[in-house]
Amino acid sequence: MTKTLIRRDAPGTALSADLPPLLNRLYASRGVTTSEDLDLALRHLLPPADLKGIPEAVAVLSAALDAGERILIVGDFDCDGATSSALMVSVLRSMGATAEYLVPNRFEYGYGLTPEIVDVGLGLEPNVIVTVDNGISSMAGVRYAKDMGLRVVVTDHHLPAAELPPADAIVNPNQPGCGFPSKNLAGVGVAFYLLSALRASLRRRGWFEANGVPEPNLADRLDLVSLGTVADVVPLDRNNRVLVNEGLRRIRAGRGLPGINALIAASGKDARFLTSVDMAFALAPRLNAAGRLEDMSLGINCLLEPQPDKAREMAGRLNELNVSRRGIELDMKEQAEASLARVEAVDAMAVGLALYEPDWHQGVVGIVASRIKDRYNRPVFAFAPGDPGELKGSGRSIEGLHIRDALDAIAARYQGLVIKFGGHAMAAGLSIREADFPAFRDAFDEEARRWLARDDLEATILSDGELECQVDVSLARQVLEGGPWGQGFPPPVFDGNFEILSQKIVGGRHLKLKARHAKTDQVFDAIAFGKDRLIENRHCRLVFRIDVNLYNGLMSVQLIVDEVDPVMKTA
């Protein structure tokens, strides 16, 4: 699919004389207007008082601590859910609580606090259930837990339905009536805020001194908050950037948890130079692999493990699962592309794509939907067999279509078509009957056409323009570490004309280059992952990211090539 290159506006105003011109330009084009906006110290975090439900949730947990009651954390089976569970369990235990966790196996129980999961949890004899990264749509599960005599605290960040669960407390910045200024917290961010408020409440009444319990330093758990926030692809507004930046700063300083450090080592990264992009593309997939293929308990146990040797063993197993996940994903992606290739032209393709094969793996359909969405620039649902007679689907969207709201509209228009659903603006999940797949496929395409015009389907690349300076390792590291970059604060991408000096295929499917930049005359080593064909023209336009390659203890600048010869859009 042809992609069109569009360059970002690059205001000429310098934000700080202490920054290189390149970084000034990058920040200005992302809406950073003052040098104060670049101060990401913890003191700039929004206070928890504006989060609706915080006082009620703190009261429930405080009472549980006072009475020595058992607290059960019910999490989700993705990276956000895993980090949320590990954060809540580790901090509550450090406060002296008896805290355990339970994460539904996606293949047996599905998502959220269901009555079935409550039954499993009752075996641990809890007095209080706290959900993390789920629960806002768990009406039946919360009601059943209450019927069983349990108190329930829901912490979540997903969009609520019209009806809220009958919990003792709900903490969710997206619930009606919540005045918290940032609606972009990940599940782990919501959990962090609740724990911060709980600690402050206990401190005010002298609880730690009275009980001989050292007051926990929550900043020492910001590596978990950082990883979960980046992995869940929530917009990195300033508040989230503070959380992510502080977590990264601690990891680089050698203060990461053993489980985090083990994941870094397993991914071949160096903790001293870790970036938010590394978290997204190296750490999170390894942690997610447990929830996708087996059981997220392995991932959570890795994050909770205090012994480095044991953490490394668990990270090694997570790495093996991630290798298996890649193989499954590649097979499914090739099947999906072969199916779509039968469409004679992209213009004839459905606007909203729904894909299904009977042998697909339900733990990997979300990744496949994301890959197909990236290739064709269309919202995509991919389905795999779920419960008998049912399919479980995972969807990814593009700008212009709120995929959770689209599902809501479909469910309202076609009563009974969607069994259950939930999600965000850009990602959602649902269950349908297998026999209803053709009807859902047509309904989703119909709904997508209501949201998206033909221009919305044009695949575009946003570039930060040309490099106009020499790039050494020091500048490259400043760019890499200058974000933190992520959703809503995108990593720098550049374009420029190059002369290809040499090229070869490495590893069977990656193109390694040596290329001279036409404007600066600087020669770069470069690599295009997943491109297994040589570039035909000696002179070409490349779209690329700046990276630093660490090999045998030596660092060098490297370009990561994303596109070759994109079309330049003229004003």
Q: What does the pLDDT look like over 108-121, one tens digit per residue?
A: 777 789 999 999 99
Closest to 74 in 3D by CA, of 145, 155, 131, 154: 131
CA dist 105 and 123 (Å) reads 16
pLDDT on residue 35: 84
Using an 8 Å Cβ cutoff, are 136 and 164 in contact?
yes
Other beta carbons within 10 angstroms of residue 330's beta carbon come to 14
pLDDT on residue 200: 97
> In a 3-state reduction of DSSP, which class is residue 115?
helix
Using an 8 Å Cβ cutoff, are 103 and 81 in contact?
yes
Pick 4-37+461-568's CATH classification: 1.10.10.10, 2.40.50.430, 3.40.50.720, 2.40.50.460: 2.40.50.460
Give the model confidence (pLDDT) of 393-448 as tens digits.
Answer: 999 999 999 999 999 999 999 999 999 888 878 889 999 999 999 999 999 999 99
pLDDT on residue 571: 44
Q: Is the dihedral of CA 246, 81, 480, 261 positive or negative?
A: positive
Q: Where are the domains of the chain?
A: 4-37+461-568, 44-318, 343-457
Half-sphere exposure of 370 (CA within 13 A, CB side): 11
Structural class in CATH, domain 343-457? alpha beta
Domain formed by 44-318, architecture:
Alpha-Beta Complex (3.90)
CA dist 375 and 205 (Å) reads 56
Closest to 203 in 3D by CA, of 217, 193, 223: 217
CA dist 172 and 528 (Å) reads 41
pTM of the model: 0.90
Using an 8 Å Cβ cutoff, are 531 and 550 in contact?
no
pLDDT on residue 301: 97
Q: Which parts of the chain have pLDDT scores under 50?
A: 344, 571
Structure tokens of 265?
Answer: 């080592």
